[in-house]
Amino acid sequence: MKHIAALFSLGLAFNAVSAQPLADQRILTAELSAAPTPAAVGGRIDWTVALTITPGLHINSHTPTQDFLIPTELRFLDVDGVRFRDPVYPAPEMKSFAFSPEKLSVYEDRVVISGRADISPQALPGRRVFSAVLSYQGCNDQSCFMPQQDTLQVEVELV
């Protein structure tokens, strides 16, 4: 029984050590931009979120092929006088990985999510901050990281 407990403890220690580099690794960088700014009240602003994914890693697409995988999702926080349309996600790649017998729907390298925001004719002129929450799950060829959320912001001017 002592041998089983020792092996179990050793296994836990190995898992903790082998998972550590995954926790410290940066999965991606994300940049939110908007144009035009200034934008006319009653007009529209086009926005993009450019994702640069660390080489050797991938993130699940917005439509993962397995129920247990976390999709990439972008959600804007409410701004008075602004209506955000649904994001347009890029086409995913279908790829094979060691941890799944099926091909998975993923994003790698650099991808751009885009969309538009409609500005109400009743919106008051002035500065606004567009804030979006990007949710994603990064993986390498062997396993997946814990899901993450990044908050992105860009300042726009309404005239």
Residue 151: the pLDDT is 98
Q: What's the CA gap between 92 and 99, in Å, rounded?
A: 19
Cα-based distances in Å from 150 to 12, 15, 31, 76: 30, 27, 10, 12
Looking at residue 143, what is its pLDDT? 86
C-alpha distances (whole Å) from 67 to each of 50, 70, 71, 74, 104 are 26, 8, 9, 19, 11
Dihedral in degrees, nearest 10, Cα atoms 128, 118, 73, 151? 0
The pLDDT of residue 11 is: 40
Spans of the chain below 50 pLDDT: 1-21
First to last CA, the chain: 75
Is 0.75 surpassed by the pTM of this model? yes
Picking from 134, 130, 65, 52, the residue whose alpha carbon sits closest to that of residue 95 is 65
Q: What are the chain's domains?
A: 26-158 (2.60.40.1250)
